[in-house]
Amino acid sequence: MTNISISPDEITRGQPYPGAPDNWKRFFTFSTDHKVIGIQYIVTAFFFFLVGGAMAMVIRSELLTPEADLVDRTVYNALFTLHGSLMIFFWTFPVLVGLANYLVPLMIGARDMAFPRLNAISFWMIPVAATLMLASFLVPGGPAQSGWWSYPPQSIQNPTGNIINGQVLWILSVAINGVSSIMGGVNFVTTIFRMRAPGMTWFRMPAFCWAVLAAQLIQLYGLPALTGGAIMLLLDITIGTSFFRPENGGNPVVYQHFFWFYSHPAVYVMVLPVFGMFSEVLPVHARKPLFGYRVIAVSSVVITVISGCVWVHHMFASATPPWMRMFFMVTTMLVAVPSGIKVFGWVATIWGGKIRFTTPMLFALGGISNWVFAGITGIFLGSVPIDLHVHNTYFVVGHFHYVLYGTIVMGIYAGIYHWFPKMTGRMYYEGLGKLHFALTYIGVQAIFLPMHPLGLQGMPRRVASYDPEFIYWNVIASLGGFLLGVSVLPFILNIVSSWIRGPKAGNNPWRAYGLEWLTTSPPPVENFEEIPVVVSGPYGYGKNQPLVANQARLGTIEEPATS
């Protein structure tokens, strides 16, 4: 191995088009560089995470007492509706698309995404759509108040009588977000299918790319169905069609099928990339190859397939015939198999390794432990008789927040910490990172664990007031929620301060395998001096073999971890 290569200063850092700024200002331009777009996505999404989190704080404050005494009931309903919508459509989706945008071209050895301009358009739709959704606070009648499901006939009821009301703005916003997601899906699928570097076969592709591909395929087959349902709902509200109006022979249950046909797989759209990140983070910090890599990679695609036929488990109580209940009970439980394979693979990956408790590793391990718990409660919910009791109670809320916060958000944190040195060229502060982890982990347990007993006792979700018997667990959950709110502060402090003046990280601070670690930090505009030629699989820990044939020509200045 020669150690000679170009110093990063010599690498051209020109922007994709002349005259573009090469400083923080480039994040406010219509840049077509996937790395700029990735960071734009992540930061924008994080802003909406804070907005949605503020709403959650108000919700938990309201639930400190049994009476509806903090905000008016309409406000409460609007808050949980927008909390859910923002967190799903404007935090989890975009932040994962951002991470995927940043990492996928680097990991497969491409210079950029297949359609850079489409990529930029996809991103700029997000702030537009989110602004539209938040603008609904300013229209008469306030924002949508029918939950993020927007079940008709309740979502069709229009107390103000205006055509421009919160519900319509909500649908338009989700539709714009959907168009953005579909364009993103086309872009990712094309990129992964057609832009892989020479030698990058399917089974040399990192598990994260597999997971992103699986998730984007779900977007492509699922989102249009929701779009169809949303168009019908919009027409019902605006021009008086009667798809879901029971008084005119419509059938509101049909909407639920459209909605859940996409919105349950949507959970896998969110969780699959996080699984991918677990699969990337664990081998690096345990210094061992991913155990059963092929099976873990393929299980992502298996989840894509199975997730297409589980949606009715959201409707066990919704006037569905018994045969449907039984069929979807079996399919729902089957999801546990590919998910289980992944968990066992991760446990086997760290087993006997050389584990270092860095912040990304802590977040990944915490996320996996929460995922095991959430998966088990998911099996409970998959069983029809149990679901008939806990359906629409806080048990469900606890279950999916363990997935969405305990697993997905912690996985996102793991990913951000893990690739932060790559994105910025600087290292975050480990102490603040560990503090962030501790607060997050304790907060997650304190807020979401009490929701399970509440649900089992029969407290319905989405209530602004509740019977006094539930106060004990609710107070604990609220306090945990406030702790979770505080936990974001060290993260922001850490990221902002170390981005500005953190210690220089070098190209490969984790001594990790992977194409993205072979180029400079941050990578130059076209990622690699030379397109890498891949000669071995993705997780070569303990094997002492090069990953690419032309290592010295990629723009790296450090020896990669081959010892």
Nearer to another protein, 282 or 495 (CB): 282
Nearer to another protein, 39 or 531 (CB): 531
199 token code pair: 């030698």
For the chain, how many residues are written? 563
Residue that the structure tokens 């347990």 belong to: 445
Nearer to another protein, 435 or 454 (CB): 454
Rounded distance, CA 278 to CA 290, Å? 10
8 A C-beta contact, residue 114 and residue 187: yes
Rounded distance, CA 197 to CA 180, Å? 27
Q: How far is the CB of 377 from another protein (least distance, A)?
A: 8
Q: How far is the CB of 279 from another protein (least distance, A)?
A: 13
Q: How far is the CB of 154 from another protein (least distance, A)?
A: 4
Nearer to another protein, 68 or 479 (CB): 68
Nearer to another protein, 325 or 418 (CB): 325
Nearer to another protein, 46 or 268 (CB): 268
Nearer to another protein, 25 or 194 (CB): 194
What is the DSSP-derived secondary structure letter of residue 426?
Answer: B
What is the DSSP-derived secondary structure letter of residue 202?
Answer: G
8 A C-beta contact, residue 208 and residue 273: yes
Rounded distance, CA 555 to CA 559, Å? 11
Q: How far is the CB of 153 from another protein (least distance, A)?
A: 5
Find, among 314, 381, 306, the residue nearest to 148 by Cα. 314
Q: How far is the CB of 105 from another protein (least distance, A)?
A: 12
In angstroms, the Cα distances linking 237 to 84, 234, 241, 258 are: 21, 5, 8, 17
Nearer to another protein, 324 or 492 (CB): 324
Nearer to another protein, 13 or 73 (CB): 73
DSSP string, 140-191: TT-B--STTTT-TTTTT--SS--SS-HHHHHHHHHHHHHHHHHHHHHHHHHH
Cα separation of the two ends of the chain = 12
Q: Determine the angle formed by the axes of helices 359-382 and 410-424, rounding to 10 degrees.
A: 150
Find, among 356, 361, 327, 335, the residue nearest to 346 by Cα. 361
8 A C-beta contact, residue 418 and residue 277: yes
8 A C-beta contact, residue 120 and residue 183: no
8 A C-beta contact, residue 427 and residue 509: yes
Nearer to another protein, 171 or 197 (CB): 197
Within 13 Å and on the Cβ side, how many CA atoms surround 92? 28
Nearer to another protein, 185 or 481 (CB): 185
Q: How far is the CB of 495 from another protein (least distance, A)?
A: 26
Q: How far is the CB of 47 from another protein (least distance, A)?
A: 23
Q: How far is the CB of 501 from another protein (least distance, A)?
A: 27
Q: How far is the CB of 159 from another protein (least distance, A)?
A: 4
Q: Determine the angle formed by the axes of helices 322-334 and 336-350, rounding to 10 degrees.
A: 20
Q: How far is the CB of 5 from another protein (least distance, A)?
A: 12
Nearer to another protein, 54 or 493 (CB): 54
Q: Determine the angle formed by the axes of helices 207-238 and 166-194, rounding to 10 degrees.
A: 150
Q: How far is the CB of 173 from another protein (least distance, A)?
A: 18
Nearer to another protein, 134 or 253 (CB): 253
Q: How far is the CB of 352 from another protein (least distance, A)?
A: 6
8 A C-beta contact, residue 185 and residue 216: yes
| Sequence letter at residue 393 | T
Q: How far is the CB of 21 from another protein (least distance, A)?
A: 26
Within 13 Å and on the Cβ side, how many CA atoms surround 475? 6
